[in-house]
Amino acid sequence: MTHGEPPGGKAEILKMACGAENYGLCRGVAQTGSGMRESIGRQENKMEKELEIENGILTYLVDSGGAKVLSCKVHGSRITVPEEIANQPVTGLDKKAFLSAKALKEVRLPGTIGEIGDFAFAYCSNLESIWLPGHEISMGRGIFKDCHLLSAVYPTEADGSFDVQTGRLLGAVPVKLEVDYLFTPQQAGTAQWLLRFDDKLREFLARPDEDGFVKMVYCGEEDIVANVEYYLLERKREKARLCFLRLMNDRGLSEELREQLSGYLAAHTKGCESEAAWEVVFKEHGNEQAYYAAFTEAGCLTEENCDDILTQMGESFPEMKAYLMRYRAENMGEADFFAALSLD
């Protein structure tokens, strides 16, 4: 028995419980009980928790640096991540936080975000737009992998303001141009960034359409979905989409590049071997006048193809059909515009 400790005291109980050989270890543990309680408390604070928000349930973790969103169960098309969770700033999104959230179309991230993990929004096949802070953010790999509908990434200032043109151009970087070094929200829209964007756009347009095609073979047969003809058509449409994008968001656009983009569209209009430019306008943006304006300004509507275009439109998008007819009357010497207003 230890001197000064009564029979049946704590020391004797520890010896009986732990064995004489482990007594020293157990005694040290007992003496640091308050420290253990603090450690356990810290572990409890690091446990994953859930927070219900509009259109979703966030799973998060709080540590000394703030709150990190680990995942989100999405049950709506729009998600706004709060600035604070459990009185802590939301500082990051973990890897795969919104992975394959098919319902998601729009995301707004708070200005407190400083890190977005790998594949955070990968396979969100309906994601169209996202608002994120305009300051420097640590970006993971493949954040928007296979987000084919993504059209805008808006860098947002502290007061909530954002530039639409910058957002549209930045949105093309991860999916259409597929270049990580240009995905810099804090630099997007600056003169230097626009020059680098345009250099990459020129490179993309000059790349052979078959570049990057890989046959998928299963059991010795080529996958019918991945045939080269479809791939080539889609590459031409992708180039046309980028041409329209830059012409319609023309801040800092040089006349030389403007002519190159317009020339590409005019070479892929109705009546050409590839009609990619007209297909993008009619099939993807059928009722958006801005696209018809860019189409005509690029010289894509000609005397040779105008009748065919109007015939193909039929009764679809009557206001856009009237717009083209008006353009023909004003620019191609159409004598009797009002007589041609039949939308048949």
Which pLDDT score, from 0 to 100, does residue 8 have?
Answer: 52
- Sheet with 152-156: strands ordered across: 78-80, 106-108, 129-133, 152-156
pLDDT (average), residues 20-31: 47
Name the more confident of 14 and 202: 202
pLDDT level of residue 278 (50, 70, 90 thresholds): very high
- Give per-residue pLDDT as tens, 79-99: 999 999 999 999 999 999 999
Fill in the amino acid letter for 336: D
For 294-341, how does the pLDDT look when each residue is reduced to its tens digit (9 = 90+)?
A: 999 999 999 999 999 999 999 999 999 999 999 999 998 754 444 445
Domain coordinates in residue numbering, the chain: 10-42, 48-189, 217-340
CATH class (in words) of the domain with range 48-189: alpha beta
**What is the structure's pLDDT at 229?**
86
What pLDDT was estimated at residue 228? Answer: 83
41 pLDDT band, cuts 50/70/90, is very low
What's the pLDDT at 64? 85
Give tens-digit pLDDT for 6-17: 455 555 544 554
Q: Is the pTM of this model over 0.75?
A: yes
Does residue 19 or residue 141 have the better pLDDT? 141
The pLDDT assigned to 240 comes to 98
pLDDT tens per residue, range 214-272 = 654 444 445 545 588 888 999 999 999 999 999 999 999 999 999 999 999 999 999 99
Choice between 24 and 233, residue whose per-residue pLDDT is larger: 233
pLDDT score at 7: 52
Q: Average of pLDDT values for 17-31?
A: 48
Quote the percentage of the chain above a pLDDT of 90: 73
- Write down the mean pLDDT value for the chain: 86
